[in-house]
């Protein structure tokens, strides 16, 4: 999975096509064996 960046022990990366059926684009934040996943719905200008 493409790594976006690293903050200390945390690694942030994205996954655009995780399985079949296709999953929406989402971002992972991992530290060791713990992991958080957030769906990316859309990017809008504020």
Q: Which neighbouring-strand residues pair with 11?
A: 6, 30
Higher pLDDT, 31 or 4: 31
- The mean pLDDT of the chain is 75
39 or 31: whose pLDDT is higher?
A: 31
Q: Give yes or no for residue 42 having a pLDDT over 60.
A: no
Cα dihedral sign for 11, 15, 20, 23?
positive
Domain segments of the chain as ranges = 3-39
Spatial distance between the Cα atoms of 13 and 15, rounded to a whole number of angstroms? 7
The pair of three-digit structure tokens given for residue 17, joined into one six-digit string = 């096509």
The answer, yes or no, to whether residue 27 has pLDDT greater than 70, is: yes
Residue 25 has pLDDT above 70, yes or no: yes
Confidence of residue 16 (pLDDT cuts 50, 70, 90): low
């Amino acid at each position: 999975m493409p790594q976006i960046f690293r903050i200390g022990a945390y690694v942030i990366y994205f996954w655009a096509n995780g399985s079949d059926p296709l999953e929406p684009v989402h971002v992972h934040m991992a530290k060791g064996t713990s992991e958080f996943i957030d769906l990316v719905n859309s990017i809008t200008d504020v």
